[in-house]
Amino acid sequence: MILPQRAACVLIMFVVLIFAAYPAAADEYPARTVKIIVPFGAGGPADVFTRAVAAELQKSMKQTFVMENRPGAGTTIGTDAVAKAAPDGYTLLVLSGTQAVNETLYGKKQYQLLRDLVPIAPLVDTDLVMVVHPSVPAKTLAELLALAKAKPGTINYGSSGPGSNYHMAGELLKNITGADIVHVPYKGSTGARNDILSGQIQILFDSVPTMTSTIASGMVRPLGTSGMTRSVQLPDVPTLDEAGAKGFQHTLWVGVMAPAGTPQPIVDILHKEITKAVNQPSLKETLAKQGAVPLTMGQAEFKTFVQAQVDKWAKVIKDNGIKHVN
């Protein structure tokens, strides 16, 4: 059927207006406040690092970026909220390795990370450090592993909860070395940090910036850091790979995601501005003081990185027989 000339003209104009509006929305972005949901409690490394980057984005994009902490259920509450948000670039998510772990660990969550959200850009990366209470008669990782072998199931390590970066660091150590150490989960990091100081637990993985002063005071003893190169803040502490856990690599990385379906021009704008922000000399200096370094990847490369993290932790969870959280 051939449309009358007037109807055809109206249809063409309608289509042109739709396509014209799409880039216009991106050109005007952001036209209002952007909300960044942090699925962790306030004051943690991911929260602190993201606030520093958000401050740079406010300056460069001439718009307000508001942080909203929505902790709970191992980050799944905040992550689910963003997965269900409008895909317009005005609700973003702070992403870390915890969400990559949760893809396997949480059996009944209502979202799938790489189906319902789109990776935009990484922000920063920082090392963890493995510390022991001074009462532990081990000055090196090799000595600790020998102790764990001699007394299997008697040495405990604490974490801020199932699936946390600190929990999975301990599981990765078990996976690589075969050490028989026992996980003690806490409801947040504070309890675990208090108990490593009192000697209620023997081992703790924590972020380097958080533990540096405690190590300097002698209240805990460092046995290794979690990156493949030594930490700038703890140059005299070997990496765990160096110390004998060959192939150990587990850093606390942070990035940003948006709901799936967010227009690609908006994703491109955010990727460009975030990458520019984390590489600002002033911000790099601020991050360095906190033991963090900027992470820079293309958007497709970042998506591949996140998928690789999901796959890595799925294997560790399966190999160690870690039970799913429902």
Q: What is the pLDDT of residue 45?
A: 81
Query: What's the pTM value of the predicted model, to 2 decimals?
Result: 0.85
Q: What is the pLDDT of residue 26?
A: 67
Residue ranges of the chain assigned to CATH 3.40.190.150: 32-125+252-319
Q: Let me know how long the chain is.
A: 326
Instruction: Answer yes or no: are the C-beta atoms of 173 and 145 closer than 8 Å.
Output: no
Residue ranges of the chain assigned to CATH 3.40.190.10: 128-243
3-state secondary structure the chain: CCCCHHHHHHHHHHHHHHHHHHHHHHHHCCCCCEEEEECCCCCCHHHHHHHHHHHHHHHHHCCCEEEEECCCHHHHHHHHHHHCCCCCCCEEEEEEHHHHHHHHHECCCCCCHHHHEEEEEEEEEECEEEEECCCCCCCCHHHHHHHHHHCCCCEEEEECCCCCHHHHHHHHHHHHHCCCEEEEECCCHHHHHHHHHHCCCCEEEEEHHHHHHHHHCCCCEEEEECCCCCCCCCCCCCEHHHHCCCCCCCCEEEEEEEECCCCHHHHHHHHHHHHHHHCCHHHHHHHHHCCEEECCCCHHHHHHHHHHHHHHHHHHHHHCCCCCEC
Place of tokens 């604490």: 158
Place of tokens 């532990």: 136
Q: Spelled out in words, what is the top-level CATH class assigned to the domain 32-125+252-319? A: alpha beta
Residues 6+ apart with CB under 8 A from 298: 271
Q: What is the pLDDT of residue 48?
A: 87
Q: What is the pLDDT of residue 289?
A: 80
Residue 132 φ/ψ, nearest 5 degrees? -125, 155
Q: Please give the chain's pLDDT, 326 residues, in tens.
A: 444 555 444 444 444 344 444 444 567 999 999 999 999 888 888 888 899 999 999 999 999 999 999 998 889 999 999 999 999 999 999 999 999 999 999 988 999 999 999 999 999 999 999 999 999 999 999 999 999 999 999 999 999 888 889 999 999 999 999 999 999 999 888 899 999 999 999 999 999 988 999 999 999 999 999 999 999 899 999 999 999 999 999 999 999 999 999 999 999 999 999 999 999 999 988 888 878 889 999 999 999 999 999 999 999 999 999 988 86
Instruction: Answer yes or no: are the C-beta atoms of 252 and 207 closer than 8 Å.
Output: yes
Peptide bond between residue 263 and the one before it cis (omega within 30 degrees of 0): no
Q: What region does 196 belong to: left with phi over 0, alpha with psi -120 to 50, or beta?
A: alpha
Instruction: Answer yes or no: are the C-beta atoms of 170 and 159 closer than 8 Å.
Output: yes
Q: Give the dihedral of Cα atoms 111, 102, 326, 169; nearest 10 deg.
A: -170
Instruction: Answer yes or no: are the C-beta atoms of 73 and 111 closer than 8 Å.
Output: no
Residue 283 structure tokens: 């911000």
Q: Which CATH superfamily is domain 128-243 in?
A: Periplasmic binding protein-like II (3.40.190.10)
Q: Give the dihedral of Cα atoms 264, 267, 272, 274; nearest 10 deg.
A: -170
Q: What is the pLDDT of residue 17?
A: 40
Q: What is the pLDDT of residue 25?
A: 55
Report the chain's terminal Cα–Cα distance, integer Å. Answer: 56
Count of C-beta atoms within a 10 Å radius of residue 300? 9
